[in-house]
């Protein structure tokens, strides 16, 4: 018995219809906007000038560099610790559910709470530095030193998303056959060795999946710099996502802001492609 050819289209109709109206149209509209510029409040055609501007825009280059630095450090760091956390959690028997919920919670924080709480905690004499002082570590200039500000962003992002990724890994780990570990134990492999030779290779497709999600998230990164550093000091934490927002909503240059948006799209697409190639999946 054969399926009628229109069947899949029927199942797709609602999604496609909504997508066409509410996603495709705005996406095309903003793409066209990226070839326009504002003159006395009216949008007029500007050819490729917005795209040419990218090459001489030092702030864009700074934002691009910052975004990449944050991504290159934060994504692997967070994903690695998320796997470590997940395998720890996988190893325990009691209180699993409690821990799982606890780690997942930061991903559901409202931005308002996030910004107030972190801005108070990260103050020069704030609770984090007080805690560090208890361990004999001097006050760290969070948010005020170009490097520490990036570190603060990375920590805040990690806090927020590590549990989210951990839950994904936790799920995938239940798929790894126990017999693999048993065999390794008999061969005398240590837990740490097992982690690197079994857990990580087995999780490869999931790691790819989370890596791509995190790459997308970082390239569009906006919340953290907006609430914590405003992109400072001296643009040290200005991300492309933040620059896009400023350009459009603060400097009223919606044409150029759209251009920035499509630069982000191209970069994400290229990076995702590379990630697929590197991990050798289909």
| Binding segment toward another protein, per CB under 8 A, in 30-38, 44-52, 63-71, 177-185 | 30-38
Residue carrying the six token digits 């890994």:
169
Provide, for the chain, the percentages of residues in helix, strand and coil under a 3-state DSSP scheme, each rounded to the nearest 5.
75, 5, 25
User: Among candidates 149, 163, 180, 170, which has minimal Cα distance to 108?
Assistant: 163
12 binds another protein (CB under 8 A): yes
45 bridge partner residues? 36
Judged by CB under 8 A, the stretch of 17-25, 68-76, 180-188, 192-200 that binds another protein is: 17-25
Among 171, 183, 274, 278, contact with another protein (rule: CB under 8 A): 171
Among 68, 180, 181, 233, binds another protein (CB under 8 A): 233
Site for another protein contains 133 (CB under 8 A): no
* 220-223 long-range Cβ contacts below 8 angstroms, 24+ apart: 220/264, 221/67, 221/70, 221/157, 223/111, 223/114
User: How many angstroms separate the Cα of 53 from the Cα of each of 6, 67, 251?
Assistant: 47, 19, 15
Binding part of the chain for another protein, among 68-76, 104-112, 179-187, 192-200 by CB under 8 A, reads 104-112
Nearest distance, CB of residue 72 and another protein, angstroms:
19
Beta bridge partners of 43: 38
- In the region spanning residues 136 to 155, those forming contacts with another protein, defined by CB under 8 A, are 141-146, 149
Question: What pairing do the DSSP bridges indicate for beta strands 42-45 and 36-39?
Answer: antiparallel
| Contacts (CB under 8 A) with another protein, residues 241-280 | 241, 244-246, 248-252, 254, 257-258, 260-262, 264-265, 268-269, 272, 276, 279
Write the binding mask 62 to 81 for another protein: x where contact by CB under 8 A, - elsewhere: --------------------
């Amino acid at each position: 018995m054969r399926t009628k050819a229109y069947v899949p289209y029927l199942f797709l109709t609602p999604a496609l219809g909504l997508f066409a109206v509410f996603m495709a149209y705005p996406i095309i509209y903003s793409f066209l906007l990226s070839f326009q510029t504002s003159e006395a409040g009216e949008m007029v055609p500007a050819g490729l000038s917005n795209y040419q501007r990218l090459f001489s825009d030092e702030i864009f280059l700074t934002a691009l560099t910052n975004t990449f630095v944050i991504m290159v450090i934060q994504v692997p760091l967070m994903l690695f610790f998320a796997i470590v956390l997940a395998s720890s959690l996988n190893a325990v028997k009691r209180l699993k559910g409690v821990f799982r919920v606890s780690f997942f919670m930061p991903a559901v924080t409202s931005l308002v709470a996030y910004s107030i709480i972190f801005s108070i905690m990260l103050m020069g004499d704030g609770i984090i530095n007080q805690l560090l002082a208890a361990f004999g570590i001097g006050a760290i200039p969070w948010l005020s030193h170009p490097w520490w500000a990036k570190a603060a962003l990375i920590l805040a992002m990690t806090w927020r998303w590590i549990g989210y990724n951990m839950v994904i890994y936790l799920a995938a780990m239940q798929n790894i056959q126990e017999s693999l570990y048993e065999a390794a134990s008999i061969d005398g492999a240590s837990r740490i060795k097992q982690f690197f030779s079994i857990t990580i290779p087995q999780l490869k497709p999931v790691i790819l999946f989370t890596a791509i999600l995190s790459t997308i998230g970082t390239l569009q990164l906006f919340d953290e710099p907006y609430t914590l550093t405003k992109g400072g000091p001296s643009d040290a934490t200005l991300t492309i996502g933040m620059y896009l927002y400023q350009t459009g909503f603060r400097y009223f240059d919606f044409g150029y802001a759209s251009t920035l948006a499509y630069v982000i799209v191209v970069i994400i697409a290229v990076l995702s492609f590379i990630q697929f190639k590197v991990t050798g999946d289909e």
